Copies of this chain bind each other. A is one copy, B any other.
Amino acid sequence: MDKRLGSQSIVFEKPPVVAGYASIVGPKEGQGPLAGWFDEIIDDDTMGEDSYEKAERVLYRQATQMAMKKANISDDMMDLMIGGDLLNQIVTASFAARDLGIPFLGLYGACSTMAESLLLGSVMIDGGFAARIACATASHFSTAERQYRVPLEMGSQRAPTAQRTVTGAGAVVLARDGNGARLTGGTIGRVIDYGIMDVNNMGAAMAPAVAETISMHLIDNGFAPEHYDRIVTGDLGHIGKRLVLELLQERGFDLSERLFDCGCEIFSSGQNVDAGGSGAGCCASVLGGYLLRNLGGQGMHRMLFVASGALLSVTSSQQGESIPAIAHAVAFEAD
């Protein structure tokens, strides 16, 4: 069977099942509107570690362990961990994989990582190469700020277009067999660059890639937007969400009734977060919390999950480059 559809999309012949999922978030995310849906809200964003980087890898490891526990699968029964994070050389995911001892494939897709890991995890399972896989990612406000922006101690003023990196992790355990929500297919993104240079406006940099991936997904599959009860984007924030709606409208797709952006929803307007939440852990924790808990409930049977990443580095920006971005999509269904 050819599981390639159109130019960028794939379909799973034996859709992998969501056997377990989990989310952990930081204190500020735990004061937001989705607070009630996370498995755990931490009080101390150092997790008792002596650096924020070490705290981030504890978040990653614990979310993965929690998802495995809920799936009732022990470490030694797992075939694979697949994931990554925002830190240089993805040390969060790699060190978590060291601690858990499960075979590991490391990804880098910036904030698109959760969708990339679910895509590749589903490919491994549907292809017959694995039966149980943990897909995960994490981010931490205090590690991202100092790596990508400025030392926290400087107390710099933020641009109104800036988003706040979510402190949080999300994990999904995929299995070949069982009951639950299923992953039915997905779309692999291309790197799109509209020439945005402003590193404080990631929503604008990512919007064209998201619009491209969503429209390719709909075209490749022959779907109208109404096929999905909800189309979820990762962390466009308020500016990027508006741009995506416009870009899709230009292509003839009206998503205004069904677009849910995790970056817009994780914080409330009173939380002083400018354009919204961001970070690989943003859509991952919302997926492993609010979204998967509600999937299969009333009016929520089909969901397209589209995570996007800005593929810049500090060096590429310092060398005058624009900000390329990518978005990957995976489709979920639940009865």
Contacts and interface: CB of A to CB of B under 8 A. Distances in A.
Contacts of A192: 98
Nearest to A103: B188
Contact of A319 (B1, B10, B53): B53
Interface residues of A, number: 63
A221 to B, nearest CB: 15
Interface stretch (A24-32, A66-74, A119-127, A150-158): A119-127
Interface stretch (A34-42, A108-116, A266-274, A286-294): A108-116
A132 to B, nearest CB: 10
Interface string A26-61: 000000000000000000000000110110000000
Most buried by B among A94, A131, A147: A94
B191 A98 contact: yes
Contact of A130 (B4, B50, B51): B4
A296 interface: no
B129 A123 contact: yes
A3 interface: yes
A104 B4 contact: no
Contacts of A206: none
Contacts of A193: 98
Interface string A128-139: 111100000000
A250 interface: no
A279 interface: no
Contact of A107 (B50, B106, B315, B328): B106
Interface of A: 1-4, 7-8, 10, 13, 50-51, 53-54, 79-80, 84, 87-91, 94-95, 97-98, 101-110, 116, 119-120, 123-124, 126-131, 147, 188-193, 311-316, 319, 321, 324, 326, 328
8 contacts: A3-B129, A8-B103, A89-B316, A90-B108, A98-B193, A103-B189, A105-B116, A123-B129
List the 8 closest A-B pairs by CB distance, nearest first. Answer: A127-B127, A98-B191, A89-B313, A94-B311, A108-B108, A103-B188, A3-B128, A98-B324
